[in-house]
Amino acid sequence: MAAADFAELLRELKDRSGLSYGTLAKRLHMSTSTLHRYCNGDAVPTDYAPVERLARLCKASPAELVELHRRWVLADAGRGKKESGPAVVPDAAPAEGVREEAEPAPLEGAGGDPEPGPAAVVTDLVRDGGPRPSVGRRRRFFMAGVAVVAVAGAVVLGVRLSGGDAEGAGGTRGAGVAASVRGKEAGSGAPSGTGSLSASPSVSPSASVTASSSSTPSPSTSGGERPGAAAEDSSGAPPLTVEVRPNAWLDPCSQRYLIDREPARVSPPPVEQDAPAWVAAHGAVSSGSQFVQVTVQGTGDETVVVDGLKVRTVQKRTPLAWNDYAMGYPGVGCGGGVPTHYFTVALDAARPAVVPEAGHADFPFKVSESDPEVYYIDADASAYDVSWTLELSWSSGSRHGTLIVDDKGRPFRTSGNNGRPAYEFPLGGSAWQRAGSSPTP
């Protein structure tokens, strides 16, 4: 159903644009048959970036962009569940003379599915007076029991030693997604511990979500230090997932990057979906402003309240003395609508805050598995080079906690660009040139 709703909106946008499948596919750098499958509901894109580009080519409104992203999140989540469903294997009939065992009790502390104890494997295998298994068969039963004991011991030992940090991956997609979310939860009543919050980069382009639980929330700090993580208890991970795109673009003309290279060593500007790789290859830093997209979705039927977003300044420095490169092409019309949940942050302020754009709703918002929310944060800097993170606070019943949202375990980074040499790439040109100069013939 979610995939059908997603495809329906895609078809509406495509039909309204008046463009053919072939024309759209060529502009999106994909095959016509692939675009047909997306619009017919036969397939769901694994990456949202081409979907957003298609919507912009079809002149989608800001509200339609938000709704399209919401439907894609649901369709993608539904596909994941379908593919990851367990295979059904018919139970083998018990051998004659051997009675089936009663359901054994779970191993204490292991958590998860109960495992049969070695005694249940080795003993009580035959009916009274029935034939006994052969010596070789009894030996196999005994070896199975020994293996079960070894596995159970390893599980219990791992549970007792897990202590400080518990990390798990989840929830984001898209080539442009390169962010991590770590959290601490209060209200579970579990004893707290401490541990490092530095996270290694994800092995996939998905954002990672790590949840920790404690009896009291750890204090938030700034100046480069992060709150301590606590041991995870039986309450599990937070009831929501967070997807972050640190290199989203409001529109190409508004996006700029500072790079410590001369123009001859800088590649032409990328399209938005290729921006993360382009930024990483050039060591680029967002110039003047950074547009971050945060998608929040519940993991179950329960409603989760997103109470707010806070900005934590990690460090302020003198603006980078690098060259300033614009992503848009001069002379080409730009301009996208303002998204539904649109917030601004003045990073130069002594205490930066997430402020809703005029006419837009402010926190709190409610999310669930079937009703995600997308927040757009436009953070600007002119007087400083600022490293910063976001803290997302949530609550659900008696549980509440905070998720630290950053860029792959590192703070977001945005630098002022006042007085820096500015360059642009003419449409159809072959090299960068100083902004405002005449195009090179």
**pLDDT value of residue 375:** 94
Residues contacting residue 337 through CB under 8 Å, at least 6 positions apart: 61, 62, 65
Residue 233 domain flag:
yes
Residues 73 and 110 placed together within one structural domain of the fold: no
Residues facing residue 368 across a β-bridge: 371
Residues 189 and 109 placed together within one structural domain of the fold: no
Residue 146 CA to residue 139 CA, distance in Å, equals: 11
Q: Is the pLDDT of residue 188 over 90?
A: no
Q: Is the pLDDT of residue 129 over 80?
A: no
**pLDDT value of residue 143:** 63
Q: Is the pLDDT of residue 432 over 50?
A: yes
Residue 147 domain flag:
yes
**pLDDT value of residue 139:** 56
**pLDDT value of residue 437:** 64
Residue 427 pLDDT class (50, 70, 90 cuts): confident
Residue 355 domain flag:
yes
Share of the chain above pLDDT 90, in %: 34
Residue 118 domain flag:
yes
Residues 231 and 121 placed together within one structural domain of the fold: no
Residue 259 CA to residue 243 CA, distance in Å, equals: 27
The SS3 call for residue 301 is coil
Residue 71 CA to residue 51 CA, distance in Å, equals: 11
pLDDT tens sequence across 1-18 = 788 998 999 999 988 888
Residues 143 and 275 placed together within one structural domain of the fold: no
Residues facing residue 184 across a β-bridge: 212, 402
Residue 346 domain flag:
yes
Residues 148 and 255 placed together within one structural domain of the fold: no
* Over residues 210-221, mean pLDDT: 36
Residue 345 pLDDT class (50, 70, 90 cuts): very high
Burial 202-238, CB ≥16 within 10 A → b, else e: beebbbbbbbbbbeebbeeeeeeebbbbbbbbebebb
The tally of domains found in the chain comes to 3
Residues facing residue 180 across a β-bridge: 208, 406
Q: Is the pLDDT of residue 136 over 90?
A: no
43 is in which domain, residue-wise?
2-81
Nearest CA to 105 out of 93, 114, 94 is that of 114
Identify the residue with better confidence: 195 or 24.
24
Nearest CA to 10 out of 49, 63, 65 is that of 65
Query: Helix (H) and strand (E) counts for the chain?
Result: 8, 17
Residues 154 and 184 placed together within one structural domain of the fold: no
Residues 124 and 151 placed together within one structural domain of the fold: yes
Q: Structure tokens of 223?
A: 């100046």
Which residue among 81, 114, 133 closes a domain? 81
Residue 335 pLDDT class (50, 70, 90 cuts): low
Residues 355 and 233 placed together within one structural domain of the fold: yes
Residues 37 and 184 placed together within one structural domain of the fold: no
**pLDDT value of residue 78:** 80
CB atoms < 10 A from the CB of 243, how many?
26
Residues 74 and 218 placed together within one structural domain of the fold: no
Residue 204 domain flag:
yes
Q: Is the pLDDT of residue 305 over 90?
A: yes
* Over residues 230-259, mean pLDDT: 77
Q: Is the pLDDT of residue 209 over 80?
A: no
Exposed/middle/buried for residue 288 (C-beta within 10 Å: 0-12, 13-18, 19+): buried
Q: Which of 285-299, 309-323, 330-344 has the lowest mean pLDDT?
A: 330-344
Residue 207 pLDDT class (50, 70, 90 cuts): very low
Residues 410 and 290 placed together within one structural domain of the fold: yes
Nearest CA to 13 out of 89, 68, 50 is that of 68
Q: Which of 76-90, 240-254, 264-278 has the lowest mean pLDDT?
A: 76-90
Give the DSSP per-residue string, 89-150.
Answer: -PPPPPPTTBPPPPPPPPPTTT-SS----HHHHHSS-B-TTSPPPPHHHHHHHHHHHHHHHH
Give the domain CATH number at 48: 1.10.260.40
**pLDDT value of residue 429:** 82
Exposed/middle/buried for residue 139 (C-beta within 10 Å: 0-12, 13-18, 19+): exposed
Whether the CB-CB separation of 308 and 364 falls below 8 Å is answered with yes
Residue 306 pLDDT class (50, 70, 90 cuts): very high
Which residue among 119, 134, 161 closes a domain? 161
Residue 268 domain flag:
yes
Q: What is the mean pLDDT of the chain?
A: 72
Residues 272 and 364 placed together within one structural domain of the fold: yes
The SS3 call for residue 368 is strand
**pLDDT value of residue 59:** 85
Which residue among 133, 161, 189 closes a domain? 161
Residue 246 domain flag:
yes
User: At CB < 8 A and 24+ separation, what contacts does 158-164 make?
Assistant: 159/109, 159/110, 159/111, 160/109, 162/231, 162/232, 163/193, 163/195, 163/231, 164/193, 164/194, 164/195, 164/196, 164/229, 164/230, 164/231
